[in-house]
Structure 1
Amino acid sequence: MKEEFLHFLWKQKLFNFKDIQTVNGEFVEVLKTGEMNKNSGPDFLNAQLKIDNQIWVGNVEIHVKSSDWYLHQHEIDANYDAVILHVVWEHDTEVFMKNNKALPTLVLKDYIPKELLENYQNLFSKKEKWIPCENQISEVDSFLMNNWLERLYFERLENKSILIKELLEESNNDFEAVLFQLLAKNFGLKVNGEAFLQLSQSFDFSILRKVRFEEQTLSALLFGQARFLDGRIEDEYFLSLQKEYEYLKHKYKLSPIIKGNFQFFRMRPNNFPTIRLAQLVALYHKRTNLFSDVMSLNKLDDFYDYFSVEVNDFWKRHYTFETTSKKSTKKLTKSFVDLLIINTIIPLKFMWLKSRSKEVNESFLSLLKEIKPEKNAIISKFSDLKVILKNAFETQALLELKNNYCALKRCLECAIGNKLLRN
């Protein structure tokens, strides 16, 4: 038995109220369970109880065993002097108040419906499961599921906002600079994301603002800072970028990032960091009002059109500086743009709207609902459990569910877990 479950039972009043008595035979009527205390001190504050026809206002402390009172040394802590009821699962010792009277103690297991206890034991069984409710989640009604997923999605947005807040603080609330940093991180995908973020932070964004109008200068800046222009390659384009970068390096006192941060191993050529950098250059060179444009776009097709930019002629025939390849446009795919919308544009727009005290309206959410469900190991497993997923809004919410609820067994804080317990 977990103490958190007893907190849940008390807070939700999931026990039989009729004729409940303390271990000493005092009749108890619960008028108010009190406010759950997440700080030090008793578990529930300002409860209101009627004990043997006398109304008491005070605090409630909850333990698995009565002896936990002494184990936690509450008898020497003045914060517990105002406790009016000790709620336990098992009564194994008497607890006394300062006036030497026994503290009223309620044994909760005597009043818990058998079915509720069975549901709890099924949900928290020691049998290894991918998620605790994997055998029942497909049975949860759609109304509850949809409402819970919406809340989960916004929790995920708030979690993503942590990095954005840090970047905004470092850049003096320069949203345009933070957009560049987040885009760079996501252009690097999972393998090279941190290296791309480090690259984007290796120079002041004001430099990019100045050089973005000249594609060669912008290319020299990014490829030079990434250390892709080190050494010597007998290629006209490479040598021209190298020369341009040496000028920029001297002019702006630039320090390139540590060599070898970028990985090519086991990556598809279209995901090579050189190609992703070339695409980032093309985007910032051709879309001069990038921040204001992406903040105003609301339709998925508009994003696809906007991000449909081609790399320059050199990169159409190369994947690296060293070797040539068959010509291809190397445009950003729709699935890649989807990732940019999910992981960069929507979280940043969420913060931007909040910073201006603007409401996150339905058009904000409808964009995510236009995007197809994501494909990854977690989402595939939910599909195996017969959870039907229609769009990226739902898959993002389920990622939050798995990582921050199921994996931590926070079923008592989960709407699905609550529903299954009460059934």
Structure 2
Amino acid sequence: MDTGIRGYSVEENPLTEEERGRIEETVGKKRASSFIRQRERGRVSFHHRGTGQDRPLDYAEESSGTQALLALGTVIMGLLERGGTLVVDEIDTSLHTLLSGSLISLFKDPENNPHGAQLIFTSHDTSLLGRVHGREVLTEDEIWLTEKDTEGATSLFPMSSYESAGEENRDRRYLVGRYGAVPFVDEDLLIRALRPRTDALENDGSGEESPMRKGRSQGRRPGPRREHAKVLILGEGETEREYFTGLRRHFKELSAGAPVGQGHVPEPVSVEIAARTAASLIVKEALDRRSEGYSEIWAVFDTEGENVHQLRARVRDTKCSNAEATVRTAVSHPAFEVWLLFHHLNPGALSGCHQPKDAERLLRKTVPQWAKGQVRRGKTGTAFSDFGSGLNRARTRAASTRVDHYDGRPWSDVHQVVDAIERQYREGSG
């Protein structure tokens, strides 16, 4: 690790009796000893290679990266010599990935770590999930991920709880959400927060459109606009209808700022049970209803016994006019219950859900009052209130499991329907 430092020197700074006496008078005899030790501590200078001669720099003048390496490196060297445990928060702070990766690797080499010293650290450097200097920095059982819920509680789970993909690019898979534990960024909210500032910059106070805004709008012709754009959701049964009806009520209350019935937000989302429950027939019904005035139609179904790729290709290849709705699919494997489980459990906890019955059994264990195909009338049935508090967690977890090909692991696309519903109510309230 070449820092450019060739050596160091310590300049002693002893205090006179008079100076010691003044310190005691100022801070008192009990506190004076620590002040005196601090003042008498030698001034350390590090000597760097220069043109023709070495150039000294005080520790405070060193870069933050060099300071971090010196501070952490000396502690690690001592720990490797005697053993013990070191806990470091954000080990990558001010350090290059190659440096932090090398420091971590010291603990994994028995020759360098004969006493079994242990390093526990946190990091936001996703490169440490992959390879550094051509070798793996951490194994899957050494990597633990953290995820914070909407109430501020943080859960901790190992990467080894996910099925291994062999020589996979773990850092890239993490960044696309494959393992969860990624922040949920509401880009629409960020844009709305910045919009007032942008509008102020673009308005010159004359009441006329500014050159900046005018330049962007020239030559742009407005497209077709639906005054009452609506989303239709076609599901397989009462479980789906009850969940999406409750979700619709949830977003309506948020956007209206008042309980349902007291606000003035239009109803832009319809939820229906499809006439037939087979996925192919749900897709057919969605395509047949394109001209009913909706802007989007979502076909929500499971993968059981269905060729999902063929159905998606059928939807994708269907040509729609501007006056017709866009048809989309939201699929869950092996069942819609996987989406409900994501409100409460991390994807790794669903590894045993290979069949719909497996997911249903785990959901009943997790939410005892849930009952398949039943609306909550008494003590059992489906109710959105059993899942609403975990909605954002479910969206993040579902996004992390989305796959382009079936590989046997539970997954769900339903978070895309949630995004569509939320978007409709935001636009309606804006």
What is the TM-score when the length of structure 2 is the normalising length? 0.25
Compare relative contact order (CA 8 Å, sep 6+) and give the higher one, 1 or 2. Answer: 1
Structure that is richer in helix per residue: 1
